[in-house]
Structures are given as C-alpha cells and as structure tokens.
Amino acid sequence: KAGVTQTPRYLIKTRGQQVTLSCSPISGHRSVSWYQQTPGQGLQFLFEYFSETQRNKGNFPGRFSGRQFSNSRSEMNVSTLELGDSALYLCASSLATGAEETQYFGPGTRLLVL
Amino acid sequence: KQEVTQIPAALSVPEGENLVLNCSFTDSAIYNLQWFRQDPGKGLTSLLLIQSSQREQTSGRLNASLDKSSGRSTLYIAASQPGDSATYLCAVKEGPGTYKYIFGTGTRLKVLA
C-alpha cells in the first residue's frame, strides 16, 4: 500500500510569490492534516480536512489556505510569501473511523523563501 | 492553552543502554497521546498511541506510559541501537472528531556504536 505522498519535495520561492503544495493520502483515508515545522517553533498545526470540509484550523494568518478534493487529495496554498514561511510542510492522513487513530505522515515539502 | 514539553532536548548514549524520554503536558484533559520518530529531513513515523483510558503501550523494545493526572508520559527504549538515532516527538490530541495534534519540542537522540 502506497504511503502519503507530497509534491513537490523541494521548492524555492521569493518573497511575495505564492505557492501550492500537494498531498495524496493513503488510499481509503479520508482525513488530511497539514503541519508546519520550523527549528524555532517546532511542529505547528495548520489545518485539517475531512470529506472536503475544513474541520479545524490552527493559528496562522489568512495567507495560508487549503482544500480537499473528492478523492481526498489535498492542497495548501500560501500567498504573499514571507521569509518566515521557510519551513518543512508536512501532511498526514488518517482512516478517521474512530477505531483507527494513527496518523501517517508524508516526507514533507521543504520550502525555502528568499 | 495546551503546552507540551519534552526533556531532555538532546541525548547521547552508548549502544545497549536503556533510556527514558519524558513528555509533559499542561492540560490533563487529553483524548490520546502519540509518540513519533522523525529521521533527519523526513516525515514522522508513529511509534505508539496511548488512549486516555490506557496506562501503557508496548511495541518491541519500546514502552510508553501515560499518567494523565500528572500530565506526563514516558517513552522507554530498551537496549538502544545506533538505528534508534532520531528525533522523538510526543503529541497530544484533545478531543474526538479531529486529528489536530499538539506536538512537543522533541528529544534528539544519538546512540553511539
């Protein structure tokens, strides 16, 4: 069974640009969560989607947005990039049946903003 | 606001030692707690998940315990190996119906051959 895949793996952008990151969950998983990981702040929750609906949102500015498609694939978008947005962006999926709680993480997209 | 702290921040031990990693959380009203492992530049791998009603979980050489009332969890690694070198993160979930986890600061472990 294929794991969680994230594309692209690496990305370099300049300040002011926008970026879209993609996440394909494990087949059959309906919940997708996004996290930002930086050396200073650690892992911080961005948002969570379940059946195309945003179920929860972290404390990030409106420049960060996301969506989930009917096949459970998810994208996150960051507009007007700032230097501080440089981070590893991790996506996680879960079966979300209540009985199965384990989250499975992708390898991440490393974003560098110059 | 839930805060999760892990000590020590870094640990270096010789191969074969048994070791304990600590995780503390400020609000005892958690739904479950997971321990993850992260290898450099990689995503996270779930090691153990403890439901709020459980006291411990075991998988191979790993044993995780949970004491909700004191806001603490420990991850015990027996007979450590160089392959155990990684960053270990604990994370708490505060309720059902969401997969929002609050992560700790991590413990960077190095096991020397």
Residue A114 pLDDT > 70, yes or no?
A: yes
pLDDT value of position A102? 79
pLDDT value of position B40? 85
Q: Do the chains contact at A90 and B42, CB–CB below 8 Å? A: no
Residue A5 pLDDT > 80, yes or no?
A: yes
Q: What average pLDDT does range A32-61 have in this prediction? A: 93
Q: Does A96 touch chain B (CB under 8 A)?
A: yes
Chain B CA closest to residue A58: B100
> What mean pLDDT, rounded, does chain A reach?
92
- pLDDT > 90: what percent of chain A? 80
Q: What average pLDDT does range B82-92 have in this prediction? A: 96
Q: Does A105 touch chain B (CB under 8 A)?
A: yes
Cα–Cα dist B22/B88, whole Å = 10
pLDDT band at A1 (very low <50, low <70, confident <90, very high): low
DSSP string, chain B: ---EEEE-SEEEEETT--EEEEEEES----SEEEEEEE-TTS-EEEEEEEETT-SEEEETTEEEEEETTTTEEEEEE-S--GGG-EEEEEEEE-SSS---EEE---EEEEEE-
Residue B18 pLDDT > 60, yes or no?
A: yes
B49 touches B55 (CB < 8 A): no
pLDDT in tens, A84-102: 999 999 999 988 665 557 7
Bridge partners (DSSP) of residue B25 are B4
Q: Does A107 touch chain B (CB under 8 A)?
A: yes
pLDDT value of position B94? 84
pLDDT value of position A98? 59
Distance from CA of A104 to the nearest CA of B (A): 7
pLDDT in tens, B20-78: 999 999 999 999 999 999 998 788 999 999 999 999 999 999 999 999 999 999 999 99
Residues in chain A with CB shorter than 8 Å from the CB of B43 are 4, 90, 105-108
Residues in chain A with CB shorter than 8 Å from the CB of B46 are 102-105
pLDDT value of position B42? 81
Residue B12 pLDDT > 80, yes or no?
A: yes
Q: Do the chains contact at A101 and B104, CB–CB below 8 Å? A: no
Q: What average pLDDT does range A31-42 have in this prediction? A: 93
| A40 vs B111, higher pLDDT | B111
Residue A103 pLDDT > 90, yes or no?
A: no
